[in-house]
Amino acid sequence: MCFLDLSGYTRVTEERGDQVAAEMAATLGRSVQQSASRHGGRAVKWLGDGVMLYFTEPDHAVISALELSDSVPAAGLPTTHTGIDAGPVVIQDGDYFGRTVNTAARIATHAGPGQVLVSESVVRASNDPTIRFEPLGPVELPGLLRLIPLHRATRTRSHPRPVAG
């Protein structure tokens, strides 16, 4: 599960008005739909300045979130902050419920502007060599009974291919 929000959306709404906020939400929606679709995910619930997404593979969620952390500001929107957790969910009436959903939402609220933060379960499930995880240590998140070890996801630096000859 992945939660992605725009950083500073409320401030922008206050400063620039409701019409600008609605246009920002529409631009975010287009970007999210394209990225999620490209990486095998789908938007489950729109939250005004954010979205809850479901991916079948944690790596796909991370890659989409990293892509959006670059493309959303490039589209003239504020930076995103994202939280991702992997685990079981309950699907009921087209919505997703459970500990994994709650944890991903709490991780997103802890993430700073431009950050993609993930749980230990996402790191354990990852096998994509283009993703790097930086451990941030255990964090207390509101409403959760235990400390959650978090990691910041980034892309690995690509190495130039050797030139034949």
Residue among 84, 104, 73 nearest 153 (CA)? 84
Write out pLDDT tens, residues 12-37.
Answer: 888 888 888 888 889 999 999 999 99
**Mean pLDDT across the chain, nearest whole number?**
91
CATH numeric code, 2-155: 3.30.70.1230
* Predicted local confidence at residue 158, as pLDDT: 55
Give the mean model confidence (pLDDT) for residues 32-52.
Answer: 93
Cβ atoms < 10 Å from Cβ of 95: 12
Contact between residue 69 and residue 61 where contact means Cβ atoms under 8 Å apart: no
- Asked if residue 159 has pLDDT above 50, the reply is no
115 within 8 A of 79, measured Cβ to Cβ: no
- Residue 131 near residue 123 (C-beta atoms within 8 A): no
90-121 confidence digits (pLDDT tens) = 999 989 999 999 999 999 999 999 999 999 99
